[in-house]
Chains A and B, each alone.
Chain A
């Protein structure tokens, strides 16, 4: 194998495909921390030139972690449709980029091709994309799913009502749920990150959220983002679980650091199908984020974009209702500033969609990253243009339990009104029936949590 180009008269040679992929990645502090980033801007572009000529079969045959060593690689490869793969395997990465962009390439054609991809192909083409390429490419692919309602339809934008509380107070969480509902947030899910992962606490919050949903006949699903085994225990004891959640990593070792493996996830998925109170057929919710593998020393020398793409392939195995990257959560040693967070948000969303996943984004940042609320508002507008399925909804963007900032209840309403989008159809009808929304806009009554004290 020889991977080499000249650029401005200078020769750049790359030792292998993993190195080539890492050096072709846009600037990320995590890749630099791992010591695998390009040494200069020109070396980065040189790597992109070589990558553009790489045939897809070379990526198929050289996964970031060998098939024999890693069960995530096995999941990725075992789910490739070989008929489709054989049609595309001689394309170069550069040709794949242009094929996605072409007006003659329909959304259906992309959805079909996605069954022939491996994660490394998805990551590779992403590295050749500009930000607008990522927005435009993602906008071509709509992925819908159904649990208690329908997510991902063109013309809709959903919002996860994320009512976290620093001590899991049932009253405090319910108050924030009311606030969010009054702004039209909660159609993607009423989803709580609990502080206390114990079964009792998780079951208490499942009961409360289910009661709110029943009392107000809300067409949505509830979810407790506890460890998957806690949710499985809760289901066994008859707790009302709408969706089952787990964080994913792109390698077996990375998933071990989350305390999960493919067998456990298979079991959780089967249990969700058996016990969830929702209609389905999509019962799973996953979160991902660039850098989590490196932070667990489970990246196997691969860059964080490649590892992230592998998460989406694993997610696809379980036909999820929703998947989102938590893009700025991990901190500046992986994504340093708003430029890197913005880029990663657009990349992750594009990769998920290219893989055929109903993709949302937690556009967020921590206080030690070089970013502000303005930056994630920008990112949310970009992603909405890209056809992002949903964002998080938190009171004024301040999550008082996770200590980070993300998009707000106000942002969900603003993005819809700005870009002519609606909540999920069942949920919009519900909002209208209560008089909280009319013709896609909030009414006078909206934005008032005390509305929900009437019953």
Chain B
């Protein structure tokens, strides 16, 4: 194809496009030209979008099915499960509201995972900060093993600042949710502290561990030598519940100890979980039980016939 031919084709296409622009709709009715494109028209000024929060239970529980066969029955079905049923459809696709709500719920999990624990929360409880061998968030997600090991500097700082061989050592770890610490620590921490004091149990110097996995309590205890180490750590966020905290604890943790030798109270959150005040009391009770039996995890289960308030340990932490 030579240059002339190409130009001819381009010209023909441009002419065709101009024709289309001149006649934007099939109906030849005169169309009002846009009077203002500066965004200053009275109509634009009068436009107000001011939405209520779509994450409230009332909005979440709304039925999206347009003409259900049995509206009351559908509401009853919805009330039996937190699953997103009765949301309706646009053709085979979800309705706009429910799709956006899903994205909001996913968004909040991402903000929790990639967020930071607030310094003022740590200051409030006088927690100093040490770091695991993980360098950044990406490495934290890729290398769980490094999240279980403290740096030499961290160990030195702990050595300097902490009381040794207390009965109970509490540490706080960001884990997979900064929001879990930010939202729950102010409530759970004082309850645990006061509960231990009231029971005459000695508590070591608490501190914060950045980029922590649960297993870091083994490394912590090589320096501290406590009878029980508790880590309050952010759980992997679930959709819409981004701030759940877990309290893992073990009897004399050390190298080689696994989740099987730990106890856990999980799903601590004000958003549809165990509320942090109540959870704090449970943590104290569980600590007492571990101290009394000098065992945790499977071994504790064997020593005590009764069930502990325990859930299967999460393998992601």
Chain A residues with CB under 8 Å of chain B are: 29, 32-33, 163-166, 169, 171-176, 178-179, 183, 295, 331-333, 336, 366-368, 372-373, 394-398, 400, 403, 405, 408, 410, 413-414, 416-417, 442, 444-451, 453-454
Q: Is B126 an interface residue (CB 8 A)?
A: no
Of B81, B86, B103, chain A has the most CB atoms within 10 Å of the CB of B81
- Give B65-105 as 1s and 0s: 1 = Cβ < 8 Å from A's Cβ atoms: 10111110110011011111111110111100011001101
List, in ascending order, chain B residues with CB within 8 A of A450's CB.
Answer: 65, 68-71, 73-74, 77
CB distance from A119 to the nearest CB of B (A): 25
Contact A166 B82 (CB under 8 A): yes
Query: Does B144 reach chain A (CB closer than 8 Å)?
Result: yes
A32 touches B142 (CB 8 A): yes
The verdict on A414 contacting B71 (CB below 8 Å), with A29-B142, A395-B83, A447-B88 known, is no
Please determine whether A408 and B82 come into contact, CB atoms closer than 8 angstroms.
no
B177 to chain A, nearest CB (A): 9
CB distance from B242 to the nearest CB of A (A): 8
- Cβ < 8 Å to A, chain B residues 18-75: 65, 67-71, 73-74
Q: Which of B195-203, B204-212, B231-239, B286-294 contacts A (4 or more CB under 8 A)?
A: B231-239
Question: Apart from A333-B143, A449-B74, A449-B86, what 19 extra A-B contacts exist at CB < 8 Å?
Answer: A32-B142, A169-B80, A175-B78, A175-B81, A176-B85, A367-B236, A368-B176, A398-B239, A405-B239, A410-B89, A417-B91, A445-B69, A446-B89, A447-B88, A448-B67, A448-B74, A450-B73, A451-B69, A453-B74
Q: With an 8 A cutoff between CB atoms, is B284 at the interface?
A: no
- B110 interface hit (Cβ, 8 Å): yes
Residue pair A414, B103 in contact (C-beta under 8 Å): no
Contact (A417, B113) CB under 8 Å given A179-B85, A445-B69: no
**With A and B bound together, what is the CA distance between A165 and B78 in angstroms?**
12
A174 to B73, CA, bound (A): 13
- Cβ of A331: which chain B residues have Cβ within 8 Å of it? 141, 316
- Neighbouring A residues of B2 by C-beta, 8 Å: none
Task: Report Cα–Cα, A417/B89, bound state, in Å.
Answer: 14
Q: B102 is contacted by which of A173, A366, A397 (Cβ under 8 Å)?
A: A397
Contacts of A171 in B (CB 8 A): 80-81
How far does the alpha carbon of A400 sit from the alpha carbon of B74 in the complex, in Å? Answer: 19
Q: Sorted from nearest, which 5 A-B pairs have the closest CB atoms?
A: A172-B81, A413-B92, A175-B77, A450-B70, A179-B85
